[in-house]
Amino acid sequence: MKFYCTINGKLTVLDAEPAACLRQVLADAGHFCVRDSDDREGFAGSDTILYNGRPVYSNLMCAWQADGAEIRTPDGLAQGRSLTVVQQAMIDAGIVQSAYNAPAAALLLTWLLENHPNPTRAQIRDALSGIFIRDAGYEHYYLAVKLAVTGKKPSELIPEFRKNLDYVGKALPKVDGPQLVKGEQAYVEDFVEPGACWLEVLRSPYASAYITDIDTSEAEKLEGVVKILTYKDVPEIYYTTAGQGSPEPSPHDKKLLNQKVRHVGDRVAAILADSRETAKRAKELIKVEYQVLEPVLTVEQAMAPGAPVVQGGEVSFGVGAPDNLDAYNAGADPREGKIHYPFPINADPKHNLASAAHGQIGDVQKGFAEADEVIERTYQTDQVQCTPLEVHVCFSKIEGGRLVIKASTQIPYHLRRVVAKVCSIPESKVHVIKEKVGGGYGSKQDILIEDLCAYMTWITGKAIYTRNTRVEEFIANSTRHPMKVTIKMGAKKDGRITAISFDCRANTGPYGNHCLTVPMNSCSKTLPLFKVDNMKFDVYTYYTNCPPTGAYQGYGAPKGTYALMMCLGELAKAVGQDYLSMVKKNCVEEGYMLEILAGLGEGRAGAVVPVGSCGLMQAIERGAAMMGWDRPLENDPDSDWKRGRGFAMLQQGSGLPGLDHATAIAKLETDGSIIVQSGGSDLGTGLDTITAKVTAETLKVPMDMISVISGDTDASGFDTGAYASSGTFYSGNASLLAAENLKKKIIAEAALQMDENPDNLSLEYPGRVVSTSGKSLSFFEINHTATGGTGRGQLMAEGSFATTNAAIPYGAHFAQVAVNTRTGEIKVEKFYAFQDAGTPINPDMALCQIYGAALKSIGHTLYEGMILDENGVCLNPNFTDYRVPMIWEQPDDFKAVLIDINDYYGPFGAKSISEIATNGAAPAIGIAIADACGVWIRDWPMTPEKILRGLGRI
Amino acid sequence: MIGKILFAGDRAEALALLSKGDAVLYGGGTELNRLGSLIKAENAVVLAEPEGGISTRQGRIRYALGTTFQAAIDHPKTPAYMREALAFMGSLQKREAATIAGNLYLHRDDSYLVPTLLAAGAVVELDWKDEISAEEYLASFDSLRQRIISCVSVPLKAPVVSKRIAMTKESLAVLTAAAANPDFAWAAVKGTGIVKVGFSDVKCENCVARALNQAGVRFVSDIYGSDEYKAYLTKTVLFDLHKEAGR
């Protein structure tokens, strides 16, 4: 049926079934930036359009409603290659990051300003009330509106750093900002070729079961079905989905398809068909018989004597096999598959132990004996989902005999390695292209769909597209590891901590990806905050049949920080000390030797280093001052609302010293412009912009003379990928080295061309070499000669960065809450996040990353959590019931502050920013709640019901 | 999700299509098109002419069939108590599509609006001709489900106080409640439904608990909270509304 409407001012005829989803109809008509983040749940807002002048969710509308309507979509905002005032303001404010629904946000802000040219904060909030921003938080959206309304420059409203530098430390437009905010082709889904087949996955309804029979015959008969795979058809190749440096610390414990399914949602069969509809119909025709087994869902159940075994397969080792391995493997059931450990991680899978690690410094027993007060508390965190706006997607094809994979991934090189292994082909036959990533947060550090998609392409020769549903994102994606952390802490009456014992029991779910490293991080990114001579850690990770876990921003540190700081808060009360004073007495400072690091390597010995650049005390003191910590908080005795304050000190890392590696190549092009081929993966956080800035700064060229190609395994050198907050420090340093090496080559070549001593030459803006004698050559002139018939060759240079030095970011987060002691309601009234990122190369984006991470952290503290029934079925696999924070949940008084500290090792003094801000909210809010009403909530999320139980009301 | 749209040329045709029993009326679409929708219908009936419009008459404000939450909020005559309840729906995009009539028709146990409508003494016009109280409409819903709510009206002035409790603004409410006088209150309790609680001699929350018990209200543990929590919350909030409505 034909529907006549106006789209972006142009008369358009849409030909569709009346009941067809309007969003899909618009996307098919070329408005692909009207995106789908929630499968028609009506929540995320990526599908927002203006319909007869009103913002609506196009996913909740039908095609018939377009008839006679005036529709505006984000791609219609700007003309040609220009940007609108709103789009530019959004880039300038730093909020165009992963940007999957940035075009929708631009549409909403445009509508707002057309109707309210000088909107109030409440009007802005209302305009953004139906759009879910997961990356950058909402605070800088208010700033974007201010920039759009006032016409001010970002430098007038965003702090700048390093006056002596032109680009570094300045709020400058993100290099890919225009592409993203305008809704141009950017994500994997935008590059799927016509005629691509669709890959569908049949998933287990049971948390633990053997597949005893699987009949695909009826499904295979369906017209359009290309191939169906079951566990019987896939290679006996075990791997880990964790994207980590090889040899990975994670066990290789899964195949593409296993005979044993280990969680609700685990893969049972892969169906390839010529269309999504056919694949779905074929899926329904597959008959599966299961022998259902008793699941274990919690650490307690997994640890219990005689517990059902999750991973009972035959074990092998790359190195370090124990002498009794044959005996250990006796009687292994082949249906369980296999587990291969590249090296030992203290696992005992027959008792559901996926990994373990232990270490200590000093003598904790002596330390506890010396203490005046010793307390022991246990804290429990739940299973929290990344919820990226862009679900997991993959497009793969064969081109020139090679497997080409377009992926939304944080780890192109690890992905290439694992796919090559699964397909049994050389890595040189695999080309991974990281497209723009519409939200990763760690979930795309695992290889969760690309393995199957790529393998299916390799064996069939077909181009294939696959995309998770939002339900699959919840049940078959990776989450935080639920953890039970027991802290024992002793202190003297004067507040000095004498000993800390840290016992972590983590739940890794059905597979062991990140089973050692995430739980280890819970203490390796927390214990080094303390100036305590006696510290001990014991980390145990257990397999269970809950939905899979993996990497999530913070990577264990949020849970360890929560436990340690809450315990410190309780201990402060026990010894009668002010909590702030006690933290300051026991926190590290620059130069303090971090002996505890010796035992905190990822499966190998860690490097003991002193605390380097450290803004921790500044963060604590400035935060306390801003919070008015020295003044008592007034509470009306007649009011049910009671206020309280809390804070937490934090740290993270900047990549993995001794493990990470990054490479970049900088090339001078024939016109003097520069291309940097970076192995790094920009997830929207601005890594490409950092690359451009450090290059521009070093080579004294305008930023628009630089193009960055990144995340493409054919077009750059090896990089471990965007995780562990490594981007700025590792990939940024590699780009800086490449630029510095290119600078040397430029000067050397210029010296030859100018017949000058290189010591007399320097670079000058814009892209010239000048000599003390007054001669000069432009980069164009230099390279033109170098690439001529008698030239010495194009000027290009590599930079490769690896180090054992650590650049540790520090911070302190402060919260003021109000708790209603009758209803249990909790409001976060104030949240101040003070952080040291060394030199913030992109200060605008750095601030937004703090806001985004802190809001996520507020989410997991107060609202979020996957709820499973006794059979391991997730009861809330949607945004609404999972309860992500939106603009309404943002604290009214929300501030992020960058502490200015120069790091010794980071590029231009920079450290990481991307993870640390997830660590603070839980302890800051938990301590604030206790301050308000006396209730210590020792498990996530901190709900009104828990408050009421703590108060004895229920 | 609906499979087929049935276009009705006029009101009579729409009523005739609905009377067959295999179709629902297409309201704002926010429930009908939603993933996990409670409405299981293959067909939806669409009226040829959109039926919106807000008017006032004899001390009441009348919201015609297609009146969205946001249109009602934006109308200058919408009373403050209605504006407060309409704003319980956090998402602007949903408010621009969801209808007052649709929310009453659904009368979900997490309804944004129904307790307030009931407390205000809302009147429902059916099929552009008959009027009954909203309370009566809900009580007789099974026999009325194929009739069209052509208008919902509420008093321009009414001392209604409302409260919504949810973990986040956009998550489903565990409790929405409203009262207009100290004699009774209405509550939508997740897992239980819409309940009317009469008050007599209420001096404390436990008196409300007894009233809830006498009204046969049973609370259910689910992902929104335990039965104990819901029971506690309901008695506490209703007691507060009782006090406030009595002022």
CATH number at B149 reads 3.30.465.10
What are the residues whose beta carbons fall under 8 Å from the beta carbon of A90, sequence distance 6 or more? A96, A102, A105, A106, A109, A141, A144, A177, A181
What average pLDDT does chain A have? 97
State the CATH architecture for A85-189.
Orthogonal Bundle (1.10)
CB contact under 8 Å between A42 and B91, yes or no, is: yes
The predicted pLDDT at position B1 comes to 76
Mutation site for A-interface testing, chosen from B31, B70, B92, B235 by largest number of A Cβ within 10 Å: B92
CB contact under 8 Å between A21 and B30, yes or no, is: no
CB contact under 8 Å between B35 and A39, yes or no, is: yes
Check pLDDT > 90 for residue A705.
Answer: yes
What are the residues whose beta carbons fall under 8 Å from the beta carbon of A636, sequence distance 6 or more? none
Task: For residues A220 and A226, give the distance between their C-alpha atoms in angstroms, rounded to a whole number.
Answer: 8
Distances (CA, A) of A808 to A145, A611, A721, A943, B78: 34, 8, 19, 33, 56
| pLDDT band for position A140 (cuts 50, 70, 90) | very high
- B228 CB near a chain A CB, below 8 Å? yes
Same domain, yes or no: B89 and B119:
yes
Q: Where in chain A is the domain with CATH 3.10.20.30?
A: 2-76
Q: Kindly state the DSSP code that residue A731 receives in the 8-state scheme.
A: I
The predicted pLDDT at position A815 comes to 98
Outline where DSSP puts E strands in A255-325.
260-261, 267-273, 287-292, 314-317
Minimal CA separation from B151 to chain A, in Å: 22
What are the residues whose beta carbons fall under 8 Å from the beta carbon of A839, sequence distance 6 or more? A161, A162, A168, A169, A900, A902, A903, A906, A908, A909, A910
Question: Which tens digit of pLDDT belongs to each residue from A442-497?
Answer: 999 999 999 999 999 999 999 999 999 999 999 999 999 999 999 999 999 999 99
Check pLDDT > 70 for residue A346.
Answer: yes
Minimal CA separation from B70 to chain A, in Å: 10
Give the pairing type, strands A826-836 and A893-899.
parallel
Question: Within a 10 A sphere around the Cβ of B140, how many other Cβ atoms?
Answer: 12
Residues in A closer than 8 angstroms to B44, CB to CB, are 19
Minimal CA separation from B236 to chain A, in Å: 7
Check pLDDT > 90 for residue A751.
Answer: yes
The predicted pLDDT at position B203 comes to 86
The predicted pLDDT at position A742 comes to 98
CB contact under 8 Å between A40 and B33, yes or no, is: yes
What average pLDDT does chain B have? 94
Same domain, yes or no: B170 and B214:
yes
CATH of the domain at B241: 3.30.390.50
Residues 55-74 of A with CB under 8 A from B: 55-57, 59-62, 64-65
Structure tokens at A144: 């974007």
The predicted pLDDT at position A466 comes to 98
Same domain, yes or no: B78 and B149:
yes
Q: Where in chain A is the domain with CATH 3.90.1170.50?
A: 192-293+392-467
Residues in B closer than 8 angstroms to A889, CB to CB, are 168-169
For B226, which residue in chain A has the nearest alpha carbon? A945
CB of A535 within 8 A of CB of A253? no
Q: H/E element holding A484?
A: strand A483-491
Mutation site for A-interface testing, chosen from B43, B68, B167 by largest number of A Cβ within 10 Å: B167
The predicted pLDDT at position B41 comes to 85
For A882, which residue in chain B has the nearest alpha carbon? B171
The predicted pLDDT at position A335 comes to 97
CB contact under 8 Å between A129 and B35, yes or no, is: no
CB of A273 within 8 A of CB of A200? yes
- A891 CB near a chain B CB, below 8 Å? no
Percent share of chain A, pLDDT over 90: 98
CB contact under 8 Å between A60 and B29, yes or no, is: yes
The predicted pLDDT at position A598 comes to 85
CB contact under 8 Å between A888 and B34, yes or no, is: no
Mutation site for A-interface testing, chosen from B170, B233, B234, B242 by largest number of A Cβ within 10 Å: B170
Closest CB to A953: pick one of B36, B226, B232.
B232
Specify the residue for token string 């789009």: A87
Question: Which tens digit of pLDDT belongs to each residue from B164-222?
Answer: 999 999 999 999 999 999 899 999 999 999 999 998 888 889 999 999 999 999 999 99
Residues in B closer than 8 angstroms to A125, CB to CB, are none
| pLDDT band for position A144 (cuts 50, 70, 90) | very high
DSSP string, A652-699: --SS-TTT--EEEEEEE-TTS-EEEEE-----SSSHHHHHHHHHHHHH
CB contact under 8 Å between A64 and B93, yes or no, is: no
Same domain, yes or no: B117 and B199:
no
Residues in A closer than 8 angstroms to B237, CB to CB, are 823
Count of alpha carbons within 13 angstroms of residue A926, beta-carbon side = 31
- A948 CB near a chain B CB, below 8 Å? yes
Residues 65-124 of B with CB under 8 A from A: 70, 90-94, 96-97
Chains A, B: CB pairs < 8 Å:
129
Find, among A492, A514, A535, the residue nearest to A448 by Cα: A514
Average pLDDT over residues A317-343: 96
The partner residues of A835 in beta bridges, in order of sequence, read A811, A898
Count of structural domains within chain B: 3
The predicted pLDDT at position A533 comes to 95
What are the residues whose beta carbons fall under 8 Å from the beta carbon of A516, sequence distance 6 or more? A249, A250, A345, A354, A355, A357, A539, A541, A602, A603
| pLDDT band for position A607 (cuts 50, 70, 90) | confident
CB contact under 8 Å between A41 and B36, yes or no, is: yes
The partner residues of A4 in beta bridges, in order of sequence, read A13
Task: For residues A269 and B48, give the distance between their C-alpha atoms in angstroms, rounded to a whole number.
Answer: 47
Minimal CA separation from A548 to chain B, in Å: 21
Residues in B closer than 8 angstroms to A878, CB to CB, are 35-36
Task: Please give the residue that has the higher pLDDT: either A605 or A897.
Answer: A897
CB contact under 8 Å between B33 and A21, yes or no, is: yes
The predicted pLDDT at position A603 comes to 64
* Domain A2-76 part of CATH 3.40.50.620: no
Question: Within a 10 A sphere around the Cβ of A454, how many other Cβ atoms?
Answer: 28
DSSP string, A407-433: E--S-HHHHHHHHHHHHT--GGGEEEE
Minimal CA separation from B129 to chain A, in Å: 27
Average pLDDT over residues A638-662: 95
What are the residues whose beta carbons fall under 8 Å from the beta carbon of A768, sequence distance 6 or more? A700, A776, A777, A778, A779
Structure tokens at A571: 């201990």
Same domain, yes or no: B32 and B58:
no
The predicted pLDDT at position A879 comes to 97
Question: Which tens digit of pLDDT belongs to each residue from A664-674?
Answer: 999 999 999 99
Structural domain for B165, as ranges: 161-245
Question: Which tens digit of pLDDT belongs to each residue from A882-906?
Answer: 999 999 999 999 999 999 999 999 9
CB contact under 8 Å between B93 and A48, yes or no, is: yes
CB contact under 8 Å between A822 and B236, yes or no, is: yes
CATH, range A483-656+806-950: 3.30.365.10
CATH, range A192-293+392-467: 3.90.1170.50
| pLDDT band for position A17 (cuts 50, 70, 90) | very high
Check pLDDT > 90 for residue A102.
Answer: yes
The predicted pLDDT at position A602 comes to 64
Percent share of chain A, pLDDT over 70: 100
Task: For residues A202 and A328, give the distance between their C-alpha atoms in angstroms, rounded to a whole number.
Answer: 33
**Domain limit, last residue, from B155, B186, B219:** B155
CB contact under 8 Å between B168 and A876, yes or no, is: no
Q: Where in chain A is the domain with CATH 1.10.150.120?
A: 85-189
Structure tokens at A578: 């002010």
| pLDDT band for position A193 (cuts 50, 70, 90) | very high
The alpha-helical segments, DSSP class H, found in A711-813 are 732-754, 779-786
Residues in A closer than 8 angstroms to B223, CB to CB, are 867, 875-876, 881
CB contact under 8 Å between B171 and A883, yes or no, is: yes
- A280 CB near a chain B CB, below 8 Å? no
Closest CB to B93: pick one of A130, A880, A954.
A130
- B171 CB near a chain A CB, below 8 Å? yes
CB contact under 8 Å between B90 and A886, yes or no, is: yes
Task: For residues A41 and A63, give the distance between their C-alpha atoms in angstroms, rounded to a whole number.
Answer: 17
Q: Where in chain A is the domain with CATH 3.30.365.10?
A: 483-656+806-950, 662-801
CB contact under 8 Å between B170 and A945, yes or no, is: no
CB of A95 within 8 A of CB of A141? yes
- Over the range A891-929, which residues count as b (16 or more CB within 10 Å of their CB) and which as e? beebbbbbbbbbbebbbbbbbbbbbbbbbbbbbbbbbbb
The predicted pLDDT at position B50 comes to 74
Domain A662-801 CATH (choose: 3.30.365.10, 3.30.420.40, 3.40.50.280, 3.40.50.2020): 3.30.365.10
Residues in B closer than 8 angstroms to A119, CB to CB, are none
Same domain, yes or no: B58 and B134:
yes
Minimal CA separation from A863 to chain B, in Å: 6
CB of A755 within 8 A of CB of A474? no
**Domain limit, last residue, from B135, B155, B175:** B155
Give residue B202's identity as a one-letter amino acid code.
Answer: V
CB contact under 8 Å between B29 and A61, yes or no, is: yes
